Chain A
Amino acid sequence: MEAIDEIVAEFLVESHENLDQLDADLLALERTPRSRDLLGSVFRTIHTIKGTSGFLAFHRLEQLTHWGENLLSQLRDDKIALNDQRTNALLSMVDAVRGMLGEIERTGVEGDADHTELANLLVSLMDDGDVRQAPLIPEQATRKSSPDAVDDALKIQASGHSGEARRSVVESYVRVDVELLDTLMRMVGELVLSRNQLVSELEDQKDTALARSAQRLSLVTSELQEQVMKTRMQPVDTIWSKLPRVVRDLSRQCGRQVRLQMEGRDTELDRSVLEAIKDPLTHLVRNAIDHGIEAPEVRVAAGKAPEGTLLLRAHHEAGQVHLEIVDDGAGIDPRMIAVKALERGLASVAELERMSPREVIQLIFLPGFSTARTVTNVSGRGVGMDVVKTRIERIGGSVDVISNQGTGSTFHLTIPLTLAIIPALTIGCAGRHYAIPQVSVLELVRLSGERGRGGIELISGTPVYRLRGTLLPLVRLDQQLGLVPVDSGGGFIVVLQAEQQRFGLVVDDVVDTQEIVVKPLGRHLKSLPIYAGATILGDGSVVLILDATTVARRAEVLASTAGAASTVALDEPITIDPVLVVELAGGRRAAIPLDMVTRLEEIPQASIEKVGGREVVQYRGHIMPMVRLATLLGAYGNDGEELDKVQLVVYTRGERSVGFAVDRIIDIATERPGSRSDIDDHALLGSVVVGERVVEVLDVQAAVLAADPVFYREG
């Protein structure tokens, strides 16, 4: 029967809402057991569920809530006091009720779960005596109601009754079906696309009246978009409100004392984002209690208060939401993580030795790290740290952890405000257009002509670009997408951010920045992680939206645990100098401090000339002095064999340059901190350990002077 289903649906929705509130009320009651308001509120909720379930013929539900109501009545009338036992019993009842509601939702009937024991408990807790049997409440027959009668009573009469019940006019909030909101959002998306189209077509419009109208339309559309997006926004409290219960139950289960604090409960996020982070967040909370906060005795022994604090913080910043889960527990022990990583074969000893404590902790996010999937009672689903990371990243967010042994851990989530309409950069590559979400874009660099193209250097086959002193790994988009490159006479580098690292995406054109509507990909393209969706531009063309992180991962420009250019450890105050490792004759290697390297060139042997006993080379319209490092450092090998190309490491200072010729350029690496030792030798500063080898460090100044004795002189 349609009518009954609607009402049952309403009953379920309302009851779930009330039960959530009830959980919160019961927990609040634990701290203020005599609050009449709270007791009254709890009583009313159970009372309502009991009354309504009678009408809907859910008699088991009716019975259970009947006993709960009786107990609450005693509490409300101050005949008995609220203690731990009673609170637990009531919470158990809430769970049982939820269970039955779930059954009703799934099957339409209450199910067979036996709650006799619980009922007995509720009855016996009504006074301070012994456990008693809970008598069944009076049979239906005496109350003139039966399931059929109720059915009949609720049947909609034929024709005639089209009247709607009028709602009270006093409400200032309305309930709107979620599907309707989604439809509204979709339609606003279409409107934004149409607006974009109109604006692009009117770009050269001379008719000012038309242009003004278009502008007005554009403004109104933007405002509408903003407002509709607001309807999708819900406070993060929507998911946080369930946590006090989870924290309480789990603390007891694990034998911990945990105080939950929440800051920024009314920070708003888009509905779909909230839905996506619900499970990961719950897992992080569970993790903090299970593994983070220690047992009270352990805490006291460590000089901490026996009660641990779990703090949830949320705030907006720069178009994103920042969520923190902070605990004052034991922190994460990098050694334990390292051991586990080794056990699971996720990293080698060498790699682990190279990593900073902070990097080691990041290993917990690797798939396969935790094989013990926690299956919870509350959520009933298994989630691991790697799944947390994947889920957050899937919606365009990121997760990070900072931990200090003995003090605690902080998990930091950054998530976008909304997924539906985002600002994006449109770029051109190999004759096609793509969109990149603005949130990933840091800056744009134009490569034009010689200077531009010349700025790209090759380090052992990997293109990099020197951007204000630091080297930026580059990815050619056409290569990544398997497109035929087009000579655009320059191009651009889009500096992107992925996983807190930067890299440059080489494209042909930068077209525009605009707000685009993210449309989900069709079935066939959905499984390609490199595309985050698609959109329709103002000119009607369909473009794919790129996912910066996937692009970077594919091109392997993100430093992994086995990466070449490792990231600088943030919590160690040791300066690690990157060096360029080169090979001289005879396999001998030298390291040149990277900040002394301006560029790398490959020149034909033929262009080297001897002038007055020195070798020089034609370089960019000037004569540049050079020195062969092999000769300088006394390295021998390949005697007499001249290669027809020479690798030149160029050092420029002001207007002057010198070149160091080497056999091969090996790589960029970081020297192991504290490994430099002094050598008393000409043109060498010392030796340093790079990777697994000992390499000599070039004294650049000496080498420069060897090439050009007057280099540092004025004039």
Chain B
Amino acid sequence: MQALVIDDSRAMRAILTRLMMGLGFDVVQAGDGAEALALLEGGLMPDIALVDWNMPVMDGLTFVKSCRARAYLRGITLMMVTTESEQNQIVRALAAGAHEYVIKPFTDEVIAEKLAFLGLVVAA
């Protein structure tokens, strides 16, 4: 299975990549919403995208909206990665079409739980 990690922080991307790889995913990275969108439009079809909220160029919320606006991208699970100070934004994200959200810092157990809930079975 494939995951798309979108975050403007290299360190954060590295952390999330390792975490997802540990769960059995192949990981592709993008530095902001626009990059991610370009990858998707270019044919990338990840099973799940971990989307950071705060990014330059195109932020997480805009990315989610753009994805949901394109029929061919609706199959991708969008998981917002947020901090608890942004909890009041969660409603907006879910309204815009995000499937799930996770509050950082989180562990692989947390992710696995959420993924299971979404119907994405992961390696033990």
Contact = CB atoms under 8 A, between A and B. Distances in A.
Partners in one complex: yes
Interface of A: 3, 6-7, 10-11, 14-15, 41, 43-44, 47-48, 50-52, 54-56, 66, 69-70, 73, 138, 143-145, 149-150, 152-157, 161, 163, 165-171
A10 B7 CA distance: 14
A157 B124 CA distance: 11
Q: Is the interface of A mostly helix, strand, loop or mixed?
A: helix
A152 B108 contact: yes
B56 A145 contact: no
Interface of B: 5, 8-15, 17-19, 21-22, 24, 26-31, 35, 38-39, 54-56, 83-85, 103-110
A168 B31 contact: yes
Residue of A52, A150, A169 ringed by the most chain B CB atoms within 10 A: A52
Given A168-B29, A168-B31, A7 B18 contact: yes
Contact of B85 (A7, A52, A70, A156): A70
A681 B55 CA distance: 92
B103 to A, nearest CB: 7
A156 B21 CA distance: 8
Contact of A10 (B14, B24, B84): B14
B105 A150 contact: yes
Given A14-B9, A47-B83, A52-B11, A152 B107 contact: yes
Contact of A153 (B9, B19, B28, B30): B19
Contacts of B22: 153-157, 161
Given A44-B56, A69-B85, A153-B108, A14 B19 contact: no
A165 B21 CA distance: 9
A10 B107 contact: no
Nearest to A148: B107
B12 A145 contact: no
Contact of A11 (B11, B24, B83, B84): B11
A55 B29 contact: no
B9 A144 contact: no
Contacts of A165: 5, 13, 17, 21, 27-29
B3 to A, nearest CB: 9
Given A44-B54, A167-B29, A168-B35, A149 B107 contact: yes
Nearest to A18: B9
Contacts of B17: 165
Contacts of B38: 170
Given A14-B9, A165-B21, A168-B39, A73 B14 contact: no
List the 9 closest A-B pairs by CB distance, nearest first: A54-B105, A11-B11, A153-B108, A55-B105, A165-B27, A149-B107, A48-B9, A165-B17, A153-B107
